[in-house]
Amino acid sequence: MTIPTLTRRASTLTEGFLAKEIRTFIAEHLGIDADSISVDSHFSDDLGLDLLDVVELTILVEEEFTNGEITNAAAEIVFVGDLVQHIEVYDGIGTSRVNNSPHSSDQL
């Protein structure tokens, strides 16, 4: 019996507004059609980007979709969906958006 595993990337069928906006931003930056990019697109294999390109793109996306603080997560970002998830978590779109303090649970 196989156990299904969760992937870090969202299915293109369940893609949210932020993912679409990030795909559009990436497409404009690369000068390609947004429909040719999905959350399952691999930055190197599908989009032809090297690690430096991914770092630069990550910084640009962070500046556009977050408060502009730079992180060092680019090495972990391989798929467009990884970048979307990074922005969601980093910008607090998940549960941490309610309270931006990293130690909010300690204050209870």
Fold of 13-94: 1.10.1200
Q: What is the mean pLDDT of residues 8-28?
A: 77
Of residues 93 and 22, more confidently modeled: 22
Answer positive or negative: Cα dihedral of 25, 47, 74, 79: positive
Q: DSSP state, 42?
A: B
Question: Pick from 77, 33, 32, 31: which is nearest to 56 by CA?
Answer: 77
The residue type of 6 is L
What is the spatial distance between Cα 59 and Cα 32, in angstroms, rounded to a whole number? 19
For residue 47, give both structure tokens: 């989009």
Question: What is the reported pLDDT for 43?
Answer: 96
The rounded mean pLDDT for the chain is 75
pLDDT in tens, 66-99: 876 666 676 689 999 999 988 888 765 543 332 3
What is the spatial distance between Cα 74 and Cα 12, in angstroms, rounded to a whole number? 22
For the entire predicted model, the pTM comes to 0.69
Q: How confident is the model at residue 4 (pLDDT cuts 50, 70, 90)?
A: very low
